[in-house]
């Protein structure tokens, strides 16, 4: 039985960005963005402690697929040791660090072009006038990160 | 209310004195009267006379664009003969209501002054004869309120209406929505609740001001939360109002666009271009909708795409667990707790003793090392199952996501191509040699720009409204926590909270009530609609809905909005159904105790619709007065009305040769022979 009572945190400076991503229809809810950032951070093998933690969402909103991936990442970090996934709070605490590094990479590689000028280093915020195609661009970016073979280059729009 | 008699004197076309007795004295069940006349004979004059007598109004809703000095009530022939002296014009109406008989007299005096006619109210009198036979003369200053008690002027147009105009109720403009909303509020007497809601808002604000000013740090958080909630609600209301205004502006711009297109279609040389452009624009709108749908789906694939980033890790962990499962390590062949018990009790399940140091004991200890505890095994098995499930979708997910991205990209390409096409056609139309054509084209372009900017503002406001809603729920949660945390020791805090709760409760009661009323009226209107529609209409149009913003909608057999596709006649039927439902609700769902005074109700209706209305309306209302033209009331309609058994009176408006009209009464039987047959009109 997974622990649904954990307040999952992100750094407070990403509060607006989480809200904006949801408002601009890039994600259905906050746990989506947290998961994406965790996967980015984990794939890049980068993790950062959160400086100023801010409650972002409850762990009961995390889907079974996301939990499975969090457990898999946790076991991979601990030489496939099953005992590493027995404490959900510990799992989430570790994922928070990957997510914190992942969101920085996301801004650096992708979201930077969609931000309001001057917000990047303080509290990043999306520029609504640039966000019209964000949902599809975001999905494309994630897919690109996950695939070595750049299949979409065949297609006009993304060539 | 039953209108018995109306007496006109020098009113509009009616030179001298004319009387119309609407009620059949020998048979009160015959509640329907028909006033028949060709166009220009004075039917609307009679309608105007009724409005003038009851409310002193010189203008009808259809006079919106007519200047005041062009509306003349005094008979023109009488004015000409008066040689500069004033002419008195009057209307006298006798009606009964709740056992009392009202006699209302209103007069104006008109005088020609050069080319202009000056009219002034000259007299108004009201006598009420009570059930006991005593007659009360009403003070002039109280007359309007006495009449308003019988039929509130704010809802008069629901009972006394122009059939040609009534279908406008179904146009979802701001004015129509306001008319419907006010009509519902007034007829159903929810004004008091409305006043209470507003008073509670004022009280809550006043207590909050006191709390903010007088408390120290103790009540500051509470005051802040209540104020933030109030500000949030005010801002939400402002946004909602603005959104309604924008929706109206957008609809108006679309209508104007349609009008321009219709006018442009008159230029034959560019007809083919217009038709091509209309098709391309319609395709763009459809594709934009499709693109938006696909865009909305994108967010549901985000997690699936992200999971692909850690695919290798998932595969590796799954392989490890699967291997352990294959080896029988999870679940282990023998449970760890069982082995531990054997070792601690030194006794096997077969009953034999297991002593330390023996080979059996050593074997059992080796088993113990291979097993895990039960909880850990459960976790491992769960994870094995979930990872198996997750990895089984990897290939499909990747394919589906790629397809969606390509699909979206294709749609965008097609939209771009179509937009280029529209631009090129518009350029050709704009370059047309006809000056009026390119002027219209310029106006059209402005409307299109306005629509784009309105759409952008709507989108922006909608997202602001969504954000405000989420802030509202967070603030409400915080306020609840604050309430629980503190023992209220300040009277001001208590009052402030109480006022807020009353405000919320009243607002909820108001919303619940109006929502239920909308529902009831919608159902009742649907019922009447079903009785009035012809067979073809019945097959498609199923339900009338009064929407949250008080606009009317009709749903088809699949429950989909269909209003945009209904004909003018069906809109008229829909409006009559809604008005009838509204009036029935005001009369507690029973028969309408008010006259329905309809000017030209059949103009846009098909034969079957006319017959249905004729059959049903006399059953729904206490009195029905029809002002009909020769083209809308013929032998067919007369026959249908006679069959109801409710037709009591027939009047004909006849030309008297000098531009005036006389009123002649005929028996219902005679009327039938006077009326034209359908083929005679053709």
The answer to whether B303 contacts A66, with C-beta atoms less than 8 Å apart, is yes
Question: What distance in Å separates the CA atoms of residue B487 and residue B493, rounded to the nearest whole number?
Answer: 10
Give the pLDDT of residue A123.
92
User: What residues of A are in contact with residue B466 (Cβ under 8 Å)?
Assistant: 23
Q: State the CATH number of the domain containing residue B61.
A: 3.40.50.300
Question: Measured between CB atoms, which of A32, A40, A71 is closest to B303?
Answer: A32
Is residue A70 helix, strand or coil? helix
Q: Are residues B247 and B344 in the same domain?
A: no
Report the 10 Å Cβ neighbour count for A148: 6
Asked if B303 and A63 come within 8 Å (Cβ–Cβ), the reply is: yes
The rounded Cα B107 to chain-centroid distance in angstroms is 40
Helices within B190-219 (DSSP H only) = 191-214
Question: Mean pLDDT of all residues in chain B?
Answer: 83
Work out the average pLDDT over B424-441. Answer: 73
* Stretch B348-364: mean pLDDT: 81
Condensed to tens digits (0 to 9), the pLDDT of residues B25-67 reads 778 788 999 999 988 888 888 988 999 999 998 877 677 667 7
Q: Sorting pLDDT into bands at 50, 70 and 90, what band is B179?
A: low
Question: Is residue B203 domain-shared with residue B142, that is, in the same domain?
Answer: no
Mutation to test the A interface, candidates B290, B295, B302, B469, most A Cβ within 10 Å? B302
B577 occurs within a structural domain: no
Q: How large is the average pLDDT for residues B167-176? A: 65
Rounded mean pLDDT, B140-159: 82
**pLDDT reading at B3 higher than 50:** yes
pLDDT, position B432:
60
Residue B410 pLDDT grade (very low, low, confident, very high; cuts 50, 70, 90): very high
Task: Give the model's pLDDT for residue B514.
Answer: 82
Of B162-166, B345-349, B602-606, B673-677, the poorest mean pLDDT is in B162-166
What is the arithmetic mean of pLDDT over B69-83? 85
Is the predicted pLDDT of residue B571 greater than 60, yes or no?
yes
pLDDT at A151: 42
pLDDT of residue B387: 92
Contact B622, B2 (CB under 8 A): yes
User: Domain count of chain B?
Assistant: 3
Residues B114 and B11 in one domain: yes
Indicate whether B122 and B196 sit together in one domain.
no
Contact A147 B308 (CB under 8 A): yes
| Cβ neighbours of B300 in A, within 8 Å | 28
Contact yes or no for B467 and A19 at CB 8 A: yes
pLDDT of res. B265: 73
Q: Report DSSP state, residue B432.
A: -
DSSP-derived secondary structure for B50-107: HHHHHH-----GGGTTS-GGG---B-HHHHHHTTTS-EEEEEEEEEEETTEEEEEEEE
Please tell me the least confidently modeled range out of A87-101, B203-217, B523-537: B203-217
Strand partners, B661: B655
Confidence category of residue B69, pLDDT binned at 50, 70, 90? confident
Are B106 and B246 in the same domain? Answer: no
**How close B383 comes to chain A (CA, Å)?**
6
Average pLDDT of span B96-111: 93
Chain B residues in contact with A142 (beta carbon < 8 A)? 302, 305-306, 308-309
Q: What is the pLDDT of residue A93?
A: 96
Q: Determine, yes or no, domain membership for B568.
A: no
Token look-up 């076309």 returns B13
Task: Please tell me the distance in Å from A152's CA to the nearest CA on chain B.
Answer: 8
CB A76 within 8 A of CB A84: no
The minimum CA-CA distance between A62 and chain B, rounded to whole Å, is 11
Contact A80, A71 (CB under 8 A): no
∠ CA(A88), CA(B381), CA(B339), 5° rounding? 100
The answer to whether the Cβ–Cβ distance between A142 and B305 falls below 8 Å is: yes
Top pLDDT among B127 and B347 is at B127
| Percent residues over pLDDT 70 in chain B | 89
Q: Are residues B9 and B100 in the same domain?
A: yes
> Span B631-645, mean pLDDT?
88
How does pLDDT run across A10-69, given as a tens digit for each residue? 999 999 999 999 988 899 999 999 999 999 999 999 999 999 999 999 898 899 999 999
State whether B8 and B129 are in the same domain: yes
Q: Does A40 sit within 8 Å of B303, measured CB to CB?
A: no
pLDDT of residue B157: 72
**pLDDT over 50 at B455, yes or no:** yes
**pLDDT tens, position by position, A78-100:** 999 888 998 999 999 999 999 99
> Residue B72 to residues A56, B63, B79, B197, B664: CA-CA distances in angstroms?
71, 12, 11, 44, 24
Is B441 within a domain?
A: yes
* The pLDDT value given to residue A112: 92
Residue B582 has pLDDT above 90, yes or no: no
Position with higher pLDDT, B332 vs A50? A50
- Quick one: pLDDT at residue A157? 36
Give tens-digit pLDDT for B597-631.
Answer: 888 788 778 888 888 999 998 888 889 999 988 88
Nearest CB to B390; choose among A68, A135, A151:
A68
Can you give the pLDDT at residue B445? 84
> Considering the domain boundaries, does residue B442 fall inside one?
yes
Rg (CA), chain B: 38
pLDDT at A16 (0 to 100): 93
Selecting from A23, A25, A152 the residue whose C-beta is nearest the C-beta of B405 gives: A152
pLDDT value for A148: 47
For range B117-131, the mean pLDDT: 90
Is there a single domain that holds both residue B129 and residue B59?
A: yes
Token match 């909103």: residue? A61
- Check CB contact under 8 Å for B313 and A63: no
Measure Cα distances from B555 to A84, B538, B543, B580, B637 in Å: 57, 11, 5, 19, 29
Would residue B459 count as lying in a domain? yes
* Whether residues B7 and B145 fall in one domain: yes
Least confident of A6-15, B194-203, B562-571: B562-571
Three-state DSSP state, B173 = coil
Chain A residue with Cα closest to B388: A68
* Of residues A32, A43, A64, nearest to B309 (C-beta): A43
Q: A157 vs B409: CB contact, 8 Å cut-off? A: yes
B197 and B143 in a common domain: no
Residues of A in contact with B402 (CB under 8 A): 143, 151-152
Chain A hits for B294, CB-CB cut-off 8 Å, are 136
Residue scoring higher pLDDT (B92 or B82): B92
Q: From residue B600, give the alpha-carbon distance in Å to each of B33, B389, B630.
A: 13, 69, 10
Specify whether B456 is located in the same domain as B363: no
DSSP B480-541: HHHHHHPPP--HHHHHHHHHHHHHHHHHHHHHHHHHHHHHHHHHHHHHHHHHHS-HHHHHHE
Same domain, B453 and B357: no
Domain that holds residue B448: 189-269+437-511
Which of B43-52, B226-235, B435-444, B541-550 shows the lowest per-residue confidence on average (mean pLDDT)?
A: B435-444
Q: In which residue are the tokens 């009387």 written?
A: B19
In a domain, B212, yes or no: yes
pTM: 0.54
Please name the residues in contact with B379: beta carbons below 8 A apart, sequence gap of 6 or more: A82, A85, A86
Lowest mean pLDDT among B256-260, B549-553, B584-588: B584-588
Of A72, A82, A138, the CB nearest to B313: A72
- Closest chain B residue to A79, measured at CA: B317
Which residues of chain B make contact with A25, given a CB cutoff of 8 A?
295-296, 298-299
Tell me the nearest-neighbour CA distance from A121 into chain B, angstroms: 24
Q: Which residue has the tokens 């291979």?
A: B370
Q: How far apart are CA A135 and CA A141, in angstroms?
A: 10
Stretch A111-119: mean pLDDT: 92
CA dihedral B175, B178, B180, B183 (to 10 degrees): -120
Lowest mean pLDDT segment, chosen from B125-129, B178-182, B305-309, B411-415: B178-182
Structure confidence at residue A33 (pLDDT): 97
Q: Domain end: B511, B539, B556, which one? A: B511
Last residue of a domain, one of B371, B398, B420: B371
What is the predicted ipTM?
Answer: 0.91
Q: Pick A72's closest partner by Cβ from B310, B379, B406.
A: B310
Burial annotation B619-649 (CB, 10 A radius, 16+ → b, else e): ebbbbbbbbbbbebbbbebbebbbebebbbb
Q: Which of B384, B386, B385 is nearest to B307 (CA)?
A: B386
SS3 B664: strand
Say what the pLDDT of residue B651 is: 94
Verify cis geometry, omega within 30 degrees of 0, for the bond prior to A43. no
Out of B492, B511, B530, a domain closes at B511
Q: Mark yes or no for CB contact B386/A64 under 8 Å.
A: yes
Chain B contact probe: residue of A19, A39, A95, A139 with most B CBs at under 10 A:
A139
């Amino acid at each position: 039985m997974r622990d649904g009572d954990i307040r999952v945190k992100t750094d407070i400076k990403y509060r607006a960005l989480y809200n904006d991503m949801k408002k601009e229809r890039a994600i259905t809810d906050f746990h989506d963005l947290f998961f994406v950032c965790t996967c980015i951070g984990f794939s890049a093998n980068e993790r950062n402690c959160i400086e100023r933690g801010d409650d972002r969402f409850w762990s009961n909103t995390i889907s079974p697929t996301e939990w499975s991936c969090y457990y898999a990442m946790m076991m991979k970090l601990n030489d496939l040791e099953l005992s590493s996934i027995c404490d959900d709070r510990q799992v989430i605490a570790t994922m928070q660090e990957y997510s914190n590094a992942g969101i920085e990479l996301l801004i650096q590689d992708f979201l930077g072009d969609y931000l309001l000028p001057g917000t990047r280093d303080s509290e990043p915020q999306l520029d609504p006038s640039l966000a019209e195609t964000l949902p599809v661009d975001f999905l494309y970016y994630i897919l690109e990160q996950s695939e070595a073979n750049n299949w979409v280059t065949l297609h006009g729009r993304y060539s | 209310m039953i209108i018995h008699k109306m007496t006109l004197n020098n009113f509009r076309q009616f030179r001298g004195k004319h009387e119309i007795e609407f009620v059949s004295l020998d048979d009160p069940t015959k509640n329907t009267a028909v006033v028949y006349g060709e166009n220009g004979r004075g039917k609307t004059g009679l309608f105007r006379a009724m409005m003038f007598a009851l409310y002193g109004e010189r203008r009808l809703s259809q006079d919106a664009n007519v200047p005041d000095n062009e509306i003349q009530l005094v008979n023109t022939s009488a004015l000409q003969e008066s040689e500069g002296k004033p002419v008195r014009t009057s209307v006298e109406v006798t009606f009964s209501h709740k056992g009392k008989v009202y006699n209302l007299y209103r007069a104006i005096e008109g005088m020609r002054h050069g080319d202009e006619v000056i009219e002034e109210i000259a007299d108004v009198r009201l006598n009420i004869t009570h059930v006991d036979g005593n007659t009360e003369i009403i003070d002039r200053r109280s007359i309007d309120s006495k009449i308003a008690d019988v039929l509130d002027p704010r809802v008069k147009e629901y009972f006394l209406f122009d059939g040609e105009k009534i279908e406008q109720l179904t146009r979802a403009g701001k004015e129509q929505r306001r008319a419907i909303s006010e009509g519902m509020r007034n007829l159903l007497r929810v004004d008091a609740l409305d006043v209470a809601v507003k008073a509670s808002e004022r009280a809550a604000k006043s207590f909050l001001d006191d709390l903010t000013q007088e408390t120290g740090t103790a009540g500051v958080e509470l005051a802040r939360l209540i104020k933030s909630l109030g500000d949030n609600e005010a801002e939400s209301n402002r946004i909602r109002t603005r959104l309604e205004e924008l929706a109206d502006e957008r609809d108006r711009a679309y209508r104007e666009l349609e009008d321009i297109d219709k006018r442009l279609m008159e230029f034959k040389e560019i007809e083919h271009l217009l038709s091509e452009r209309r098709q391309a624009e319609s395709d763009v709108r459809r594709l934009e909708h499709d693109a938006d749908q696909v865009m909305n789906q994108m967010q549901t694939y985000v997690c699936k795409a992200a999971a692909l980033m850690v695919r290798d890790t998932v595969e590796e962990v799954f392989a490890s667990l699967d291997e352990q499962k294959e080896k029988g390590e999870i679940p282990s062949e023998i449970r760890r707790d069982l082995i531990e018990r054997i070792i601690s009790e030194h006794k096997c399940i077969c009953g034999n003793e297991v002593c330390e140091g023996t080979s059996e004991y050593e074997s059992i200890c080796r088993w113990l090392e291979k097993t895990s505890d039960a909880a850990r095994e459960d976790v491992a098995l769960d994870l094995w199952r979930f990872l198996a499930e997750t990895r089984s979708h990897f290939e499909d997910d990747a394919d589906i996501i790629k397809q969606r991205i390509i699909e979206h990209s294709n749609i965008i390409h097609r939209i771009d191509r179509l937009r280029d096409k529209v631009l090129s056609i518009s350029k050709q139309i704009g370059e047309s040699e006809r000056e009026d054509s390119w002027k219209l084209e310029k106006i059209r372009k402005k409307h299109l720009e306005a629509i784009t900017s309105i759409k952008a503002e709507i989108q922006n406001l909608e997202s602001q409204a969504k954000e405000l809603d989420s802030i509202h729920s967070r603030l409400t949660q915080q306020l609840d926590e604050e309430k629980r945390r503190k023992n209220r020791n300040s009277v001001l805090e208590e009052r402030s909270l109480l006022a807020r709760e009353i405000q919320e409760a009243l607002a909820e009661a108001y919303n619940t009530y109006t929502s239920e009323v909308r529902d009831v009226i919608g159902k009742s209107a649907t019922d009447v609609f079903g009785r009035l529609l012809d067979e073809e209409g019945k097959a498609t149009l199923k339900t009338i809905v009064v929407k949250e913003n008080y606009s009317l909608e009709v749903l088809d057999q699949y429950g989909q909005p269909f209003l945009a596709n209904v004909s003018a006649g069906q809109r008229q039927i829909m409006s009559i159904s809604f008005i009838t439902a509204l009036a029935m609700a005001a009369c507690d769902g029973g028969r309408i105790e008010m006259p329905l005074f309809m000017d030209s109700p059949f103009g846009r209706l098909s034969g079957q619709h006319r017959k249905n209305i004729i059959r049903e309306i006399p059953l729904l209302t206490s009195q029905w007065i029809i002002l009909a033209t020769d083209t809308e009331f013929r032998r067919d309609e007369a026959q249908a009305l006679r069959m109801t058994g409710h037709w009591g009176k027939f009047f004909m408006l006849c030309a008297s040769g000098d531009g005036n009209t006389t009123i002649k009464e005929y028996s219902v039987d005679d009327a039938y022979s006077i009326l034209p047959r359908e083929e005679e009109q053709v």
